[in-house]
Copies of this chain bind each other. A is one copy, B any other.
Amino acid sequence: MRIALIGTGNVGRALARAWAAVGHEVVLGSRDPEARKDVGAELGLPLATVRAAAERADVVVNATPGAESVALLRAAGADVLDGKVLVDIAVGFTMEPHGFVLTHPEESLGEEIQRAFPSARVVKTLSTMDSTAMAPPPELARNSTVFLSGDDADAKAVTRSLLTDLGWPESSQLDLGPIRSARGQEHFAHLFIAVAEALGTHTFTIRVVTEGSGGAEKK
C-alpha cells in the first residue's frame, strides 16, 4: 500500500519505520521537507510536502500535533484527501500553566477532521498509547486493546490490516463504532498522563477485560 505519513515526530517515525519494514511504500509528508531532511535520511524514506505525499497515497496517516492538524491538512489542499482513507492518530492538547488541556473537550479531533474533510474516510486509532507502543512486541500486542472509530466500513478494514501489519492481532482490535466514538479514545489522554506519571514510563497500553475473557475483546 502507498502510505503518506504526515508528521515527522516520534509517532510518524515509528509508524513509517514499521510499515516500511513490512513492505509498504511509505512517503513522509512535512510542512517543511527541507528542514526535516534528516528524518528522511534516518529512515531511508522519501520526504515530500504534505500535498505531494498525500496526492500519490492510498492511505494518509495524520501524525501531526493534534492542535494543528486541521489547519495543516487544509493548507495542503482538501482535494487530495477526496475518497482517501485518512487514519488519524493525533490527540489535540496544549500544555497550560495548570497542566494538560484537550483542544477538543467533550468532542474530538477525529470528528472535526471528518467534518472538515467530508469526502475523506476518517478512522481514528492508536491514539490511546505512546509511539513506543504502537508497533508492540507480540506479548504486549496480544494482551492489549487497540481501538478503531470511523464511519466507513471499508476504511476500517484497511486500517485493521495496517494494524495487523504493526503486530496487532485481530483479537486485540476493538471497533468502537462511528467516528463520534473517537472522543472516547481522545479523552483517555487524561488517564494516560496520570498512569504514565504513576508508572514512570509512557510505554504501556490498556486492555479491555470482561469476565471470563482474560483478554482483549474482539468485535
Contact = CB atoms under 8 A, between A and B. Distances in A.
A209 B204 contact: yes
In the complex this chain forms, how many copies of it are found? 2
Nearest to A136: B211
A91 to B, nearest CB: 12
A104 to B, nearest CB: 10
A176 B177 CA distance: 30
Given A210-B201, A210-B203, A184 B193 contact: yes
B206 A209 contact: yes
Contacts of A95: none
Contacts of A52: none
Interface in A23-59: none
A207 B206 contact: yes
A214 interface: yes
A212 interface: yes
A1 to B, nearest CB: 26
Given A208-B204, A209-B140, A209-B204, A184 B194 contact: yes
Interface string A185-219: 11111111111011101011111111110100101
A13 interface: no
Given A105-B105, A137-B211, A191 B195 contact: no
A209 B176 contact: no
A180 B194 CA distance: 9
A144 B143 CA distance: 12
7 contacts: A139-B214, A143-B214, A144-B209, A149-B194, A176-B197, A183-B194, A184-B195
Considering the complex of A and B, which 4 residue pairs feature the smallest CB-CB distances, nearest first? A184-B194, A184-B191, A187-B190, A181-B194
